[in-house]
Structure 1
Amino acid sequence: MSRMDRSVLSFFLLATLLAGPVATLAMAPPAAPGRPMLVIAWQPDRVIAQAQGRPVGPVEAPFAVLARGDNGFRARLAQAGAWAVLDAEWVAALCGAKRV
Structure 2
Amino acid sequence: GGELIFGSADSSKYTGSITYIPVAIEGYWEFLMTSVSIGSTILSSSVYAIADTGTTFIIGPTIQVTALNAALGGAYDSTSGLVCLFLANLSENNII
| TM-score (structure 1 length as normaliser) | 0.31
Tell me which structure has the larger Cα radius of gyration: 1
Q: Which has the higher contact order (CA 8 A, sep 6+)?
A: 1
Say which structure is richer in strand: 2
Say which structure is richer in helix: 1
